[in-house]
Structure 1
Amino acid sequence: MTYSTKANVSISSFDLDELNQRFDKAHPREILAWCVNNIPTGLVQTSAFNIDDLVMTDILYRDLKPANPVPVLFLDTLYHFPQTLELVARAKELYNLNLKTYKILEVDSREAFAERYGEALWDKDITQFHHLTKIEPLQRGLSELNTVAWITGRRRDQAATRADMPVLELDSQQRLKVNPLASWTRKQSWAYAAEYKMIYNPLHDQGYPSIGDEPITTQVAEGEDERAGRWRGMGKTECGIHI
């Protein structure tokens, strides 16, 4: 199969089956180094600034330091916790991030969003809420950044829907989607963070292992799945970005 890409970087010669076998249990650094070496333009990291995302940012910006800093695409949904936005600002300064923030086009505050789409849209139509705040801004961002390959922070052990996730796959637009932490566990991400004394969201220490939008993210009790606090009671395991 031939895979079409943008930005004059072709992945048509990449054998995804062979690469997935090679990288299935590889350290994320090895996978990210391959990306930097083989996709010199059009490589983007998408980040919600959870601990797994920050591990990859640390590898890219502290360790690998490619000549062209990899853009970090952040979705400002307007509903992030204040601690998340503070962390984004700290990380931008610390790593001198090539930060690209995307948000819904028509509104610029929670009040304006509620006025246009109704109060607590997530309670009435969570799919529409995610489309407006995440899916459309993400696709617009990936397009405007001429993305050939994008890096995610997903791990197989995060949810049953991710258990068989490959390291390398194609998205619906035939871009390469890279999951360097696929074989890692939460414990490994935190061990890396401790080893390199990384900054992280203080909410992680307050019962929030996975942090999303403030109105629809709750604390997780001991023994619960780490993503149990996301969309609690809504019957969802994904926001739609990775479906």
Structure 2
Amino acid sequence: MTQSVDAPAQTQPFDLDALNQQFDTAHPKDILAWSVENIPTGLVQTSAFNVDDLVLTDILYKQIKPAQPVPVLFLDTLHHFPQTLELVAKAKDLYALNLQVYKIQDVDTREAFAAKYGKALWDSDILRFHDLTKIEPLQRGLSELNTVAWITGRRRDQASTRADMPVFELDKQGRLKINPLASWTRKDSWAYVAEHSMIYNPLHDQGYPSIGDEPITTPVGEGEDERAGRWRGTGKTECGIHI
């Protein structure tokens, strides 16, 4: 069955089956260019400022350069590594980002979070921790930004749960979800970084191929999956945003 989603200035919905057939192995720049052209309003990039997210930002802001810069939605979980927050600030200045930061509404520091919700909530209730710090702020952000379609930095080779991920899909709210790097590998992303002399999180050079919250992200050993350092020992492979 063909999935479809309404979009601004369109009399017909997008045919996701046709789009996925057309763009399944396309270069991310071509996918992003199509997105900018066909979704002139309501297009948002969600970013954790991992290397893959920054590749997409670089393409959007340095190559495509839409008249209205695509908003970059960043979730400040209050538990990021200092290096991640430093990179966010650096990227904001370098790219002149339309940066939109969302976080839990009732506390504004890690200490206040612990005082209200308990010390190390990620150990006692990881689902509630992610709901408070990621899922609710994301949905609020997407709603307040009037999002029609959102761009992610996911790749199929990152985890078994993403192996069959399409380039275009619908989220639970019926928004278009775009995965321009779906067919790329980790090697492809880093080749782009080298070619374009991009900035990136220094933790990537310290054994952290995938960087999440500081208390629950560990280095990855040789031969391990690149996301093995996320939620180590819990059996989790996703925080809940992309399920």
> TM-score w.r.t. structure 1 length?
0.97
- The one-letter amino acid paired with 2:22 is R
Any unmatched runs of 5+ in structure 2? Answer: none
Q: Is the 8 A contact 2:4 2:16 kept in 1?
A: no
Q: Equivalent residue for 2:80?
A: 80
SS of the aligned residue for 1:133 comes to helix
Measured after TM superposition, the shift of residue 11 of structure 1 is 8.1
Q: Map of 1:172-187 to 2, 5 A cutoff? A: 172-187=172-187
Runs of 4+ in structure 1 over 3 Å off: 8-12
Per the alignment, residue 233 of structure 2 pairs with: 233
Instruction: Give yes or no for the alignment of 1:71 onto 2:76.
Output: no
Who is 2:215 aligned against?
Answer: 215
Instruction: State the alpha-carbon separation in 2 of the partners of residues 84 and 153 from structure 1.
Output: 16
| 1:125 alignment partner in structure 2 | 125
Q: How many angstroms apart in 1 are the aligned matches of 2:225 and 2:68?
A: 37
Summarize deviations over 1:98-157 as a string: whole Å, max 9, x none.
000000000000110001000000000000000000000000000000000000000000
SS at the partner of 2:45?
A: strand
Distance 2:90 2:143 in 1: 27
SS at match of 1:69: coil
Partner of 2:134: 134
Please say if 1:90 is aligned against 2:90: yes
Q: CA deviation at 1:25?
A: 0.4
Paired residue type of 2:54: L
How many residues align? The count is: 241
**8 A contact 2:6–2:13 mirrored in 1:** no
Output the aligned Cα RMSD. Answer: 1.1
Q: Cα offset for 1:14?
A: 1.2
Task: Look up the equivalent residue of 1:52 and give its one-letter code.
Answer: D
Structure 1 residues 35 and 2, CA, compared in 2 at 3 Å: closer, same or farther? Answer: closer
Task: Using the TM superposition, give the Cα deviation of residue 4 of structure 1 relative to its aligned residue in structure 2, in angstroms.
Answer: 4.3
Supply the distance in 1 between the matched residues of 2:155 and 2:227 (Cα, whole angstroms): 12
- For normalisation by structure 2, the TM-score amounts to 0.97
Extract unaligned runs of 5+ from structure 1: none
CA distance in 2, matches of 1:140, 1:9: 24
Q: Structure 1: how far apart are the matches of 2:125 and 2:232?
A: 14
Q: C-alpha displacement at 1:191, in angstroms?
A: 0.0
Please give the secondary structure, in 1, of the residue aligned with 2:14: coil
Which residue identity does 2:20 align to in structure 1? N
Q: How does 1:49-64 map to 2 (within 5 A)?
A: 49-64=49-64
1:91 maps to a residue whose letter is A
CA distance in 1, matches of 2:239, 2:9: 30
